[in-house]
Amino acid sequence: MALIEILISLLILSVGVIGLSNVQINAKRVAQEALQRTKAASLASDMLERIRANPKGFANYNGAEVGRSSAATEPADCRLVACAPEDVATRDLWEWEQALDGADETRMADDQTRQVGGLYLPYGCVVTDFGGQAGRVQVTIAWEGFRDLGYTGANTCGAILGLKRQLLSFESFVAGTR
């Protein structure tokens, strides 16, 4: 009888431990999603500030879709040399893509340097004169999350990611764009 009681106790204990491990895994997943969303919000806000700082180059941001190393060549650094507003916009988009991809934090793995500081499969999109209103801008960041959200809205930024696509979109107004 004592051995049967011990076996039943071990069975109950093992079911509890399995349940706790599931809770731990889900907590880590939710924390990772929160970190990704926080990073996306910071990067979208950064891009809006860059656009506000360059109102004469406002039209040059329109239709930009960056991410996943789409911009191969580094443009001139406009902090070191004088640039036209369109060159500032090109540099801003390149730097934004580097941040989305995580170029600011790297790790060595299998004798290769890998970017690990960014979002997972990121895309960044900018639409100026959003909704047909002059000076209105929409900045959207899309990345792949853990779960299927089934988003079917009109925003197509990062649509290639499918149903696991996470979206964060900010809209704002930029004065002095005309």
pLDDT < 50 stretches in the chain: none
Could you report the per-residue pLDDT of 95-125, keeping only the tens digit for each? 999 999 887 776 788 887 776 677 888 999 9
Q: What is the pLDDT of residue 146?
A: 84
- Domain-by-domain residue ranges, the chain? 3-173
Q: What is the pLDDT of residue 178?
A: 65
- The answer, as to whether pTM is greater than 0.85, is no
Tokens of 66: 């960056």
Summary count for the chain: helices (H), strands (E): 2, 6
Map tokens 């540099």 to a residue: 91
Q: What is the pLDDT of residue 19?
A: 92
Nearest CA to 99 out of 153, 16, 157, 41 is that of 41
Tokens of 65: 């879709």
